[in-house]
Structure 1
Amino acid sequence: MSGWRLALRHAPALRVDLRGVLPATLGGLSAAQVGQVAVGHGASRVPLGEFFTIQADGDDALVFDGDLSRFDRVGWQMAGGRLTVHGPAGHYAGGCMTGGELQVHGTVGLLAACEMAGGQLTVDGDAGDFAASTLPGSMDGMRGGTLLVKGNAGERFGDRMRRGTALVFGDAGDFLASRMVAGTLAIGGRAGAHAGYGMRRGSVVFAGAAPDIAPTFVPAGAQAPVFWQLLARDLARHGGPFARLPSRAIARHLGDLATDGRGELILTT
């Protein structure tokens, strides 16, 4: 198995669907065969070589160079290997991943890591709305794995999240962790309005400014110090605003009681 480096020739006229362009699927192909892999371009199927120059990279990885903001589903259903984008990526980046490592050295569009079940997606820039959430019409959001957003995240981050760990080093938009079922979210900056709306279970850690707590969340009677130390140490290994969490005290609020929820909003001091 060999790695490939794909450098963008020019921006496409329409959005391109990169599903199926993965380290595992390209690893056994020749450069000519990689160039003939068909991808969706609007309503047509176009060879990958129409958009990229293709070079062997000598590594078991797939690397994209260029502005992929009009290329959707980068790393879609990725099950293993390493995929790197040197630039921004479009919508659905890392969607339905089950394994491997995907790193985007730039921003990503809507629905990043939607219904992710394993692996790790790292976004060096900002993420659009509905990251770590559910596909339209589905009931379950992120189901496992790790999402790291080094910049800011849009609205509905972690909507219907069921498992896994998702961290935002910067700010998050409105309805953070809305309808959350389980899992762990952590925010290094500020959160928008209605954090935890409809939350049923799970933990949301605020390493930065405390959000406005809805009246459907109530202060916890116990602070669970053993649980907090385990969680804090796990989050601290990612560095940034989470590095000093184990040394900080917390205040827990339980809810959302409007949905008989048993989740928790953890404020650090």
Structure 2
Amino acid sequence: MSGFTLSLKAPVPLRLDLRGVTPTALAVLSAAEVERLPVGCGNALVPLAEFFQVAARSDDTLLLQGDLSCCDYVGWQMDGGALIAEGSVGDYAGGGMKAGTLAVKGHAGELAACEMAGGTLEITGNVGDFAASTLPGSMDGMRGGTLVVRGNAGARFGDRMRRGTALICGDAGDFLASRLVAGTIGLAGRAGVHVGYGMRRGSIVFAGPAPEVSATFVPAVAGAPVFWQLLSRDLARHGGAFGSLASRGIVRHLGDVAAGGKGELIVVR
């Protein structure tokens, strides 16, 4: 197995579809075969070498260089290995990811980590709307793995999320964790309106400013000290505002009772 460095030659006038350009898929190919790999450009399939300079690496990492904001589906359905994007990427980054590590050293577009099932995705910058959520027309959002957004997130983050851990180190847009089925979402910054709208189960941890809690969430009567110790220690490994959670108290709100939900909003004091 070997890795490759793919360097964008020049700005691309149309959007590129990089489905199939993953570490495990390219590891069994030669440099010449990688250059001939077809990628979507508009409504046509074009050899990868038309856009990227291909160079073999001494390790197994797949490195993408350049402004990749025109490139969609980076890390789509990754099933192993390590992929690093040294720049901003387009929509669907890490969508359907099953295993491996994907690092984006910039911003990501909409639907990042949609229906992610495993692995780790870390985004240094911001993400657009519907991160960790569902594909259009689907019923299940993020299903496993870990997503860490170091910047801000757009609206509907974690919509219909079913499993896994998703953290936002900045602010979040409206309808955070809407229709959440299960899983854990952590927020270090400010949340928009309608937090947890229609959520069924799962936990949303607010490590920063307290959110506006809807009237369809009720104060929890019973405490959860053991659960909180386990959860806070798990989140603390990501550092930042989450690093000191274990030493702080919490206030819990349960809901969304309007949807028969049993989820919880955990506000850290």
- TM-score between the two structures when normalised by the length of structure 2: 0.99
Equivalent residue, structure 1, for 2:185: 185
Equivalent residue, structure 2, for 1:119: 119
Equivalent residue, structure 1, for 2:255: 255
Equivalent residue, structure 1, for 2:211: 211
**Identity of counterpart residues, as a percentage?**
65
Equivalent residue, structure 1, for 2:7: 7
Q: Secondary structure at the match of 2:246?
A: helix
Equivalent residue, structure 1, for 2:64: 64
Cα distance in 1 between the residues matched to 2:172 and 2:116: 19
Contact 1:223 1:250 in 2 (8 A): no
Contact 1:10 1:51 in 2 (8 A): yes
Equivalent residue, structure 1, for 2:93: 93
Deviation at 1:223, TM superposition (A): 1.9
Equivalent residue, structure 1, for 2:220: 220
Give the total of aligned pairs: 269
Deviation at 1:35, TM superposition (A): 0.6
Equivalent residue, structure 1, for 2:167: 167
Q: Secondary structure at the match of 2:49?
A: helix
Equivalent residue, structure 2, for 1:49: 49
1:26-59 deviation per Cα after TM superposition (whole angstroms, max 9, x unaligned) = 1121111111000000100011011111111111
Equivalent residue, structure 2, for 1:139: 139
Relative to structure 2, which stretch is displaced further, 101-110 or 5-14?
5-14
Cα distance in 1 between the residues matched to 2:24 and 2:250: 44
Tell me if 1:18 matches 2:31.
no
Cα distance in 2 between the residues matched to 1:159 and 1:230: 25
Moved over 3 A (4+): none
Deviation at 1:234, TM superposition (A): 0.2
Equivalent residue, structure 1, for 2:108: 108
Cα distance in 1 between the residues matched to 2:71 and 2:141: 22
Q: Secondary structure at the match of 1:230?
A: helix
Cα distance in 1 between the residues matched to 2:172 and 2:40: 32
Cα distance in 2 between the residues matched to 1:38 and 1:12: 16
- TM-score between the two structures when normalised by the length of structure 1: 0.99
Give the letter for the 1:11 counterpart.
P
1:204-260 deviation per Cα after TM superposition (whole angstroms, max 9, x unaligned) = 000000000000000000120110000000000100110000001000000000000
Equivalent residue, structure 2, for 1:30: 30
Cα distance in 2 between the residues matched to 1:25 and 1:199: 37
Cα distance in 2 between the residues matched to 1:8 and 1:81: 21
Cα distance in 1 between the residues matched to 2:159 and 2:113: 11
Equivalent residue, structure 2, for 1:153: 153
